[in-house]
Amino acid sequence: MTTDTGSPEERADLLELLRKHRALFRHTMTGLSDDQAASTPTVSELSLAGLVKHVAATEAGWADFVVHGPADRPDIDWANVDWSDPPPAVAAYRDGFRMVEGETLEGLLATYDDVAAATDELVGTVDLAARQPLPEAPWFESGATWSARRVFHHIAVETAQHAGHADIIRETIDGQRSMG
């Protein structure tokens, strides 16, 4: 899947963009205990550990999309889910946003680092102009495609957005801010 589409400078810029936003996001986790990382101190159910899991899974999913195209999605009627006894696919989705028994922040961050390294490798080798059809979803235009280049930008934007969420949660826990 290697071609010359994408200059070395463009690839370096993409890597710098991804690494900058990952570092800002990851910095928010510095010095936290597992209990703090799993806590949900705002009205949201988000935790810092849950954000790490979500950002890692999202990046891995988009990297897989670059190589294989859209993944099959479970057919779930989200409006009628019984959250007190959710089906396995819904429970797995929910658990993708929280630290479950047996997980640690250190382990979640190690997984995130592995995902980031794999994505960085892909940035260096994939044809950045290669396109894949977006999955059918209400938030995507029907029949639209994205290039690998567009996907890597999206990963950076998604990471930056969640870094903001993480800042709010971290400041609520102990007053620490990533910047300022």
Contact present, 1 and 67 (Cβ < 8 Å): yes
Average pLDDT, integer, range 37-55 = 95
Residue 2 lies in a domain: no
Residue 62 lies in a domain: yes
- Give the structural domain span for 81: 8-174
Q: pTM for the complete prediction? A: 0.91
Split into its structural domains, the chain has a count of 1
Residue 54 lies in a domain: yes
pLDDT at residue 102 is higher than 80: yes
Which of residues 85 and 34 earns the better pLDDT score? Answer: 34
Q: Residue 154 sits in a domain of what CATH number?
A: 1.20.120.450
CA distances from 135 to 1, 62, 139 (A): 21, 11, 10
**Which are the contacts of 166, defined by CB distance < 8 A and separation ≥ 6?**
25, 28, 29, 48, 51, 178
Position 125 confidence tier, pLDDT thresholds 50, 70, 90? very high
Residue 53 lies in a domain: yes
Phi-psi region of 136 (alpha: psi -120 to 50; beta: other; left: phi over 0): beta
Residue 86 lies in a domain: yes
Residue 180 lies in a domain: no
Residue 98 lies in a domain: yes
